[in-house]
Amino acid sequence: MFTDYLNTLMGINQFYLVLIIPIAILMIILIFAILTAVVAHKKGRNAFGWFILGLLTGPVGLAIILVALPIHYYIKSGDDDL
């Protein structure tokens, strides 16, 4: 009786390991990439490039764009025609 319970429990664990956990990890990485792209867009930066960086680095890319200055800090004030 206990072995049946263990086999059932092991089957559930294998299901989570094989299917649910990788999907959850991919969703978390995708969320970090989207957040990175949104913050980059709000700071006037290339959202697609930062999305790719967010996909590759996850929370590190988000942390980098959060501390990065908006792009208008790097443009001279006399260059208003850009």
Do 32 and 50 touch, CB atoms closer than 8 A?
no
pLDDT for residue 65: 95
Domains in the chain, number: 1
Does residue 7 lie within any of the structural domains? no
Does residue 39 lie within any of the structural domains? yes
Span 10-22, average pLDDT: 72
pLDDT class of 3 with cuts at 50, 70, 90: low
Give residues with Cβ within 8 angstroms of 68, minimum separation 6. Answer: 43, 45
Does residue 80 lie within any of the structural domains? no
Domain containing residue 55: 18-70
Does residue 75 lie within any of the structural domains? no
Q: How deeply is 30 buried, as exposed, middle or buried, from its count of CB atoms within 10 A (0-12, 13-18, 19+)?
A: middle
Does residue 9 lie within any of the structural domains? no
How many Cβ atoms sit within 10 Å of the Cβ of residue 80?
7
Do 64 and 82 touch, CB atoms closer than 8 A?
no
Q: What global pTM score does this model have?
A: 0.71
> Distance between CA 65 and CA 60 in Å, rounded?
9
Does residue 10 lie within any of the structural domains? no
